[in-house]
Structure 1
């Protein structure tokens, strides 16, 4: 059994959701023909991978759908967070991992991952694009419009009341309560936090002064919660609460409209997908890496700016043939039309653009054992 050397607990409810998805997969016309050249039905074994909790719902769909393509393979995804996923991948515990940010060398992660992959730079490809929703549960408020500057001030702890004039200015028709704001953030190291704070640092530098970071700054206060599901639960159960989470897991919570140019845009998959069309590839990207620096300053109509582009990390070469074949086949399924459509229907993600899909597949097809 392939299991990671560094293990953490799987979040509650995963098993139940997996059972629910089984019926969906059965109606998915047998999964995808895209197997990266690995013949369907020829692989076997049990494999555990993991990482970004934002991918949890999509990964449940993918692991279930992949079972139609390779019925003798059991894939399990542990939603332990981006930091944990990268840590396990670098340590060799995961043969592939999910991360809500691409590898950088600020703390030597890219160098360590390259060493783990036998001296070759790791594969980094986008597999999941979804809006980060600003979720809220505020008495008497069904719609909430926030400018980037106001959003930054709320999470920095400088705007403390819901009827503050900065919130009232963009919500003249809302019955804002005279009540304290309860801001909820991730307590664990999180790529979602990294993407969210990167947006704030870019668009609201006057009110959000902490910059981009994956661990929440204690001096800004607020309530911490573990993982995406923890933030959603805290906002759901809290009073006059606001938080940030992958939109696919926001459920029936209110989702704020964010100021973009002269408009306020909601976190739909379609609006989120548009930002990659206007964003440049990262300057540090190598031949094996499709990584992007999102253009948070865009004023493109209908574009939602707070977007999570989640990546898969893998090696180009594996010592074990079975790991190479399963990694290649599984990622190929995720990137296929069937895989992307299944995740869109089950997790609310935005399917990758055709050109991006093709570029990613060209990289994955090179995975081999050596």
Structure 2
């Protein structure tokens, strides 16, 4: 049974990827998931145009740590005079460091808020912070329930579970969605992020949009639901779910696959429940619209999609930089590095890591915007 689960999860995360992945979510349990063949890395590195030098500092989203590991390895093999130092401190902390002028750019799973854009003008002397969508992928709802390896839930049920309104696994609402499952009367242990997180922001945006009558909290990076237990980072969520029978949590897909955790299928109103895979997340991201103004490329995701095979709990990680007024000592290196990450090779490098592609029409705009950073 364990072997079947492993095969199923790996097939979902890797075998379903028939398109170029754009976002690699960091797998818990190992910080070294760079992967990739040496020949592929060498070919990609040979195309990189190296500019600038020194230590390029950045921090933020832990969801893109694995992507950064891959990109950094390839970029530094070509551009040895530049050292990329990316710290996965979480989206909230990354934005704060950027706004304090401590980093060249930040990674965030949520676009800048208006008040953050206003603050960025103090750092970006002649401009402001802008959002550059770079990587995307599914947020999996992970669970550990002995004897149940094929669980279906919908937005309303998830909202009630994470807001402590449904507290037992054999609740009638869960039974209705899983008539053939042997659901125990075990208490549900719901784990949420204790740190401010773009993953939490996107997960609660989904709950708020798809189940507004059951999730009345405003989406935020900080957890607002009632009850439950906090855990630090997506790795903390995955570890706690793995260790506790009867538990449930949310984390980027590769944290689930990296820890051999089962994932919930979503009843979205489509003909069949939808599994958390990169390919299914791609179908949901395809519905996204650019809503940012000027050079800002913030996206609006459709969390209520009912398209067949579209998995709606997704996030897009942005690289946040100044459109104008970037620090002179790091500008050239930053543009060179981001140009590579947004390139066809940079995006392809992540396709085996459980990430969904940024649509061509959007990533093309990202490349143009990076070229114009000053």
Alignment gaps of 5+ in structure 1: 1-10
The answer to whether the 8 Å contact 1:130/1:248 transfers is no
User: TM-score if structure 2 supplies the norm length?
Assistant: 0.87
Alignment partner for residue 68 of structure 2, among 59, 63, 67?
59
Q: How does 1:182-221 map to 2 (within 5 A)?
A: 182-217=189-224, 220-221=226-227
Q: What's the secondary structure of 2:175's corresponding residue?
A: helix
Matching residue of 1:173? 180
Deviation at 1:147, TM superposition (A): 1.1
Task: Identify the match of residue 120 of structure 2 among 113, 119, 122.
Answer: 113
Q: Distance in 1 between matches of 2:329 and 2:337?
A: 12
Cα distance between partner residues in 1 of 2:144 and 2:357: 29
Corresponding residue SS for 2:365: helix
Q: Which residue of 2 aligns with 1:141?
A: 148
- Residue 70 of structure 1: how far off its partner (Å): 1.2
Displacement of 1:50 in angstroms is 1.0
> What secondary structure sits across from 2:236 in the alignment?
helix
Per-residue CA deviations over 1:273-300 (Å, capped at 9, x if unaligned) read: 1222222222xx1221111111112111
For 2:331 and 2:205, the matched residues in 1 are separated by: 34
Deviation at 1:313, TM superposition (A): 0.1
Which residue of structure 2 lines up, in the alignment, with residue 261 of structure 1?
269
The equivalent of 1:131 in structure 2 is 138
State the Cα deviation string for residues 49-78 of structure 1 (Å, max 9, x = none).
110111111111111121123122221211
| Unmatched 5+ stretches in structure 2 | 1-25
- CA-atom RMSD in angstroms: 2.1
Partner secondary structure for residue 111 of structure 1: helix
Match of 1:367 in 2: 373
Which of residues 248, 255, 258 in structure 1 aligns to 2:254?
A: 248
Structure-1 separation of matches of 2:364 and 2:158: 36
Question: Using the alignment, how far apart are the partners of 1:288 and 1:178 within structure 2?
Answer: 53
With structure 1 as the length reference, what TM-score do the two structures score? 0.88
- Deviation of residue 33 (structure 1)? 6.2
- Match runs of 1:1-370 below 5 Å: 17-18=31-32, 21=34, 24=37, 27-32=40-45, 35=48, 39-40=49-50, 42-105=51-114, 108-217=115-224, 220-251=226-257, 252-262=260-270, 263-282=272-291, 285-318=292-325, 320-345=327-352, 347-368=353-374
Deviation at 1:198, TM superposition (A): 0.7
Change (3 A) 1:231 1:201: same
Aligned residues between the structures: 346
Q: Is the 8 A contact 1:48 1:76 kept in 2?
A: yes
